[in-house]
Structure 1
């Protein structure tokens, strides 16, 4: 479907449906889910976070209702830093983190998967979690049971102890032994005859017991024997006697200390121990599998969430584009229709006005496209060594007119400011956008401050800005306006998001600045709070090469062609190629044209004397504009090349780092812009016709 044919109502309906589907997806997730937004607080930068979105599962898994709008330190004041450290790592690194953590405020353990949303500047983390308190209690109970069984094994099955004085033939027993067999503990301490002990043994086991004792006495050492004894309830039970005979120096037995163990009790304890260990082993063996299944479910839910967020962003982008481009196309189409009518009526005096209206609409469309490409980091930049102080000074009059007399402007340019490598036109556009945003935030007037500074970021500072450590040049725009709420701040860089009334802003200003900064190797950050104004800081890498060129000298002079200078124009779009050929021909150049790279190389054989190659970057048939330029320069190494592009084949152009004698011109372009670039490339050989 053509973008221009989409009605705004249909797009708004589609966007509303996308939001409903996204909400339904959140609610379909059985786990708890929330999106948190890091904020600055009394404890320092990023020292708290705000819950800006959550599903009903949040309350099910934590017991906390109405979490949206609440800060971490409100609900978990005593353990806030632990959560800030965990989620802060996710925010800084962009890596998904899975962990288990006790939620002290609600007395629950939760299993968490956390992922950063968007760039680090948005300060947002999505959290997917579930309550695992029951599992934790089960694990603890199993461990306690194993410990209890082990203690029982050590002590619970022991009935009592004895010491047999062999020469005196008397048994000394403890209270446990005496109690089990109904004996007198006082007599047991002074000694009981062996016959009284043997009388408790089952008649069938007495001979075996006597033989075992005789063997132990005869050889000395350890002794273990099982037999039945009559306990105090009158019943016989299997017991086990364990002991060791002590001998004197002549090898005669002196005493026989030992322990009496309840065999049935020990077996019961061992069975309980085995059951507990088996249950613990089963839990351990299946834990890894359940963790893998849980991780797979989390990944699936995260993918669905990201897809829903992506679709909502696409819906917002499509709706905003359709609205703005339909307005622009209406202006162009209306102007052309009126021109057609006026030509038919013979009223050619009105043509200039309608032509100006159409050209104005084209410029608006070009500006909108550039902002979109800047947001997506796909615009074609023409970076040069630049002095931001000089750029700010050159923009001051335009900024003053743009913000109006109610706004006081102050500039604070740093002395000894480092140069930066940046597209001058884009940085000027970004600065103007920031100043206009600041103006709109100060409806009743105020103060706007533009400042520059040198900044060196260490590892920690660079991680907060999501850039590499090193030297940067900062350009900041501050206002004394109303400031932003946390919700607005979280969405500030979204395309087509705006708090301005309908018709008073596209919502692409900050998103363009964000994309331009990232594409230039830097970053942008917003510091704002309700009632405290806003500061937008743009960081650009320091340029270590030669300083900024003199812009005035570079742009000096009108460019006219030396008669019969020959230019080859290569573009696969016939209308664009025709316009470029006619403009250059009118300027006095000899022009040859080709529709793609192979055709251009064939034509070069018949025209080896060309003085300049003007080529589109995105060419068909297996050879792009950069490859064509390389092939042509293999034959003529010093041949100037002007790349023309309407899209961002930035990597094809070596990320803006072009060889000497190469420049870039962005579509759509004016005849004057084409004339100037061609003149610059042929300037050293230019002469009056």
Structure 2
């Protein structure tokens, strides 16, 4: 083997030994992270070590096959590493079987094995260092001999030529050594990059767990408060009824208010997680903002001056108009609160373009044409540290009872789910502007009209007993309540606990007018049931319901076209409006 090749060979063995030690340390770190947290994502370094350690041994075995002492040391190292990985694996399996068992990691044994592994690796590195010194000397001697031979051959021609050739030979040798060092350095840099990525991945996971903990804590707090009110009202109502007292409306209203708040909370959480069901339509932002301006003025109160600045020629967008209205209203209410109920709120629309430089500097932002909807206030402004946390769920600067901390996170989730971008600009003492960028829509589609205000006649609505509705729900209590609600609206009702039972009822009752079905059911889901029912009864009306955000009629957060959907939980008024709309009948009292 040429001297230069021997140098490269020695450097390669040194790198492989250091990588082997790093692999064992990563495995140990991953196991400890899993033992401390119970989170199996920390096991990735351990599993990677098990996958790659065999390849490490094969590489080292090939490269030390010419050195008997190094082969013996490698056998020792392989034995120690196998014992250490075995002890790590055993403790992981014990933790998986009994998560609450005390942590007895066998630290003394583990430390002894790792120290022994480091000692063997140190011996092998020392041997390779000795070999490197020897082989470098051999390479220099080889170069020198070459120089002497060439010089002798050319000495008769010219001393100057000999000197030039000697210098060239030296440059070649230096270049060869530099190339070897560069290759080794690049390999080490790649290994270090992989290690950094592993550490960053673990850090991101830890941050994610912290965010989940914050979210869970806020959610539990809000739900416990609402459940406490509901339970208290029901207990008091039960006692009043036992005593024959009739003044129970206020208790019912308080309980219903908490139910509505709980439902709104779940919708906001779905919005933040980008899983709320959207029904996008072609929207003219100017018409939408102009149409809701009066409602915003009524909501904010007379002390707030509301101004709309609508640019001409604003492009169309493809979003859920109800959710966009909700987002604008959320921002307007936040703006009012930032001004202590006195000041000016400005809502603007315009066309905008996000360039490539801006897109690269902001996550999940694409270059292109957008419609901008901005909400500004003349309040006190926000410092940078508050802006950085503004979109976090349950983060609020408002006092107790004045906000859930979910308003901005809901807006953020809706904008991201719609493929847009949201940015806060604020200066202390000057006010705040929240800018929503929604992608320009260039397809065909009728522009959505103004939203119809919900009817207040749900409690007094009476359907026709000649209309027969089939309710399909696998959960017994939910099915019982849904049947009672449909009956109370005046319709005739059949009920089924499964899709198979529902199809049998459809075959036996050709006069069924509407199928009201849950989506998430065992064996056959609601979508499959509806398709089979329509195959048998093409004129059958269908209404779907579910509390699960990812289901057979919602894909990528968007409700399938032409689907009639009523999300759980729903009130009797919402049920009345949906059923009457699908049946094509007018509400009557």
Could you say which TM-score interval applies, normalised by the shorter chain? 0.5 to 0.7
2:334 is the counterpart of 1:441:
no
1:618 and 1:649 in contact (8 A); partners too:
no
2:249 is the counterpart of 1:370:
no
1:378 and 1:647 in contact (8 A); partners too:
no
**Residue in structure 2 matched with residue 523 of structure 1 by the alignment:** 421
**Residue in structure 1 matched with residue 527 of structure 2 by the alignment:** 626
Aligned positions of 1:145-184 closer than 5 A: none
Q: Secondary structure at the match of 1:371?
A: helix
Q: Which residue, 571, 574, 584 being the options, matches 2:486? A: 584
Q: Which residue, 317, 320, 338 being the options, matches 1:423? A: 320
**Residue in structure 1 matched with residue 510 of structure 2 by the alignment:** 608
Q: CA deviation at 1:260?
A: 10
Q: Which residue, 478, 487, 494 being the options, matches 2:376? A: 478
Q: CA deviation at 1:449?
A: 0.3
**Residue in structure 2 matched with residue 571 of structure 1 by the alignment:** 473
2:580 and 2:587 in contact (8 A); partners too:
no
Q: Which moved more, 1:575-584 or 1:644-653?
A: 644-653
| Higher fraction of helix | 2
Indicate how the Cα distance of structure 1 residues 474 and 617 shifts in structure 2: closer, same or farther if over 3 A, else same: farther
Q: Which moved more, 1:504-513 or 1:439-448?
A: 439-448
1:448 and 1:477 in contact (8 A); partners too:
yes
Q: Secondary structure at the match of 2:259?
A: helix
Q: CA deviation at 1:381?
A: 2.6
Q: Which residue, 575, 597, 615 being the options, matches 2:499? A: 597
Q: Distance in 1 between matches of 2:397 and 2:455?
A: 39
Aligned positions of 1:338-357 closer than 5 A: 338-349=236-247, 351-357=248-254
**Residue in structure 2 matched with residue 76 of structure 1 by the alignment:** none
Structure 2 alignment gaps of length 5 or more:
1-32, 38-139
Aligned positions of 1:165-204 closer than 5 A: none
2:278 and 2:559 in contact (8 A); partners too:
no
Q: Secondary structure at the match of 2:270?
A: helix
2:565 is the counterpart of 1:664:
yes
**Residue in structure 1 matched with residue 188 of structure 2 by the alignment:** 290
Q: CA deviation at 1:418?
A: 4.5
TM-score (norm 2): 0.66
Q: Secondary structure at the match of 2:564?
A: strand
2:304 and 2:336 in contact (8 A); partners too:
yes
Indicate how the Cα distance of structure 1 residues 589 and 291 shifts in structure 2: closer, same or farther if over 3 A, else same: same
2:400 is the counterpart of 1:502:
yes
**Residue in structure 2 matched with residue 549 of structure 1 by the alignment:** 449
Q: Secondary structure at the match of 2:156?
A: strand
2:295 is the counterpart of 1:382:
no
Q: Which residue, 559, 578, 585 being the options, matches 1:677? A: 578
Q: CA deviation at 1:688?
A: 7.7
Q: CA deviation at 1:289?
A: 3.0
Q: CA deviation at 1:364?
A: 0.7
**Residue in structure 2 matched with residue 642 of structure 1 by the alignment:** 543
Structure 1 alignment gaps of length 5 or more:
1-17, 23-148, 159-222, 226-239, 245-256
How many matched pairs?
445
**Residue in structure 2 matched with residue 33 of structure 1 by the alignment:** none
CA offset digits 1:507-543 (Å, max 9, x no partner):
1111000111122333322222333321112233455
Q: Distance in 1 between matches of 2:353 and 2:510?
A: 51
2:519 is the counterpart of 1:617:
yes
Q: Which residue, 257, 268, 271 being the options, matches 1:360? A: 257
**Bigger radius of gyration among the two:** 1
1:472 and 1:539 in contact (8 A); partners too:
yes
Q: Which moved more, 1:639-648 or 1:459-468?
A: 459-468
| Higher fraction of strand | 1
CA offset digits 1:237-259 (Å, max 9, x no partner):
xxx87124xxxxxxxxxxxx656
**Residue in structure 1 matched with residue 72 of structure 2 by the alignment:** none
2:519 and 2:551 in contact (8 A); partners too:
no
CA offset digits 1:463-484 (Å, max 9, x no partner):
6584555554332210122222
CA offset digits 1:270-329 (Å, max 9, x no partner):
79985x567535423422431232122111111111011101101110111111111111
Q: Secondary structure at the match of 2:240?
A: helix
Q: CA deviation at 1:592?
A: 1.4
Q: Secondary structure at the match of 1:622?
A: coil
2:553 and 2:559 in contact (8 A); partners too:
no
1:438 and 1:481 in contact (8 A); partners too:
yes
TM-score (norm 1): 0.57
Q: Secondary structure at the match of 2:155?
A: strand
Q: CA deviation at 1:375?
A: 0.1
Q: CA deviation at 1:448?
A: 0.8
Indicate how the Cα distance of structure 1 residues 506 and 280 shifts in structure 2: closer, same or farther if over 3 A, else same: same
Q: CA deviation at 1:360?
A: 0.4
Q: Secondary structure at the match of 1:348?
A: coil
Q: Distance in 1 between matches of 2:485 and 2:347?
A: 41
Indicate how the Cα distance of structure 1 residues 552 and 284 shifts in structure 2: closer, same or farther if over 3 A, else same: closer
Q: Which moved more, 1:361-370 or 1:450-459?
A: 450-459
Q: Distance in 2 between matches of 1:328 and 1:554?
A: 25
Q: CA deviation at 1:578?
A: 1.8
Q: CA deviation at 1:393?
A: 4.1
